[in-house]
């Protein structure tokens, strides 16, 4: 599966290069969208959700957007807006992966594709849940999941499960105090929650089959 992992690495590198390019160009709406978000109301909601969806292809400061949602709209509405944007981004990436699956077939052998599909069928949903809060990895995983046999329903549920904790916690941060220190602390807590999800999944996977029966 060397070629498959090379494609995964190349995709991750492409996202990193896009991030560095935008940082070098200093595109205002991508580096600091606060001027639009601070307007509040429907405009801020649409801009925030749109930026989160565009995060698939462009390096958007998603944590800043989610914190702004919490500061402008409160915990629950801010969480909902961030969840819509994050899940929308995930499904957009999944759709791009679906379109690119034909190219993937041309780049790797049928045996490599079968092994990759087997891995994604077993672990793809968990990978989506665990990587949603992690920049670059989240987009890469969604693209590769879209190129696999995973269903849209599985992708939607996994994306929602992985996007809800950061959406809620960042909205809570914004509602309390939208400062960098609090945002950084909340990001660390999100990673802790992600690790807990991973540990729980491994624990359930290792349990004997009869122990998992009701």
Task: State the first-to-last Cα distance of the chain, in angstroms, to the nearest integer.
Answer: 38
Higher pLDDT, 143 or 25: 143
> What gap in Å lies between CA 166 and CA 115, rounded to an integer?
32
Domain encompassing residue 59: 2-212
Amino acid 159: pLDDT = 94
What is the total count of domains within the chain?
A: 1
The pTM score is 0.74
Higher pLDDT, 138 or 196: 138
- Averaged confidence pLDDT in the chain: 78
- The predicted-structure confidence for 59-108, as pLDDT tens digits, reads as follows 788 888 888 888 888 889 999 999 999 999 999 999 988 887 777 767 67
Higher pLDDT, 112 or 142: 142
Nearest alpha-carbon partner for 201 in 212, 187, 186 = 212
Contact status, residue 74 vs residue 40, Cβ threshold 8 Å = no
Under the banding of pLDDT at 50, 70 and 90, the label for residue 200 is: low
- The predicted-structure confidence for 151-167, as pLDDT tens digits, reads as follows 999 999 999 999 998 89
Q: Does residue 198 carry a pLDDT above 80?
A: no
């Amino acid at each position: 599966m060397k070629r498959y992992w090379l494609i995964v690495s190349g995709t991750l590198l492409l996202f990193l290069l896009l991030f560095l390019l935008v940082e070098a160009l200093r595109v205002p709406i991508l580096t600091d969208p606060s001027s639009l978000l601070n307007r509040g109301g429907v405009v801020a909601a649409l801009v925030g959700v749109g930026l989160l969806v565009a995060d698939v292809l462009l390096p958007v400061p998603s944590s800043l957007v989610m914190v702004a949602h919490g500061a402008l709209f409160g915990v629950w509405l801010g969480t909902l807006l961030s969840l819509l944007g994050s899940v929308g981004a995930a499904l957009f990436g999944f759709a791009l992966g679906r379109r690119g699956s034909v190219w993937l077939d041309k780049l790797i052998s049928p045996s490599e594709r079968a092994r990759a599909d087997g891995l994604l069928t077993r672990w793809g949903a968990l990978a989506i849940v665990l990587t949603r809060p992690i920049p670059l990895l989240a987009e890469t995983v969604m693209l590769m999941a879209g190129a696999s046999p995973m269903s849209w329903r599985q992708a939607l549920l996994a994306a929602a499960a992985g996007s809800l904790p950061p959406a809620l916690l960042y909205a809570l941060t914004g509602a309390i105090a939208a400062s960098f220190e609090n945002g950084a602390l909340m990001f660390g807590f999100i990673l802790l929650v992600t690790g807990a999800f991973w540990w729980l999944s491994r624990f359930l996977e290792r349990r004997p089959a009869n122990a998992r029966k009701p």
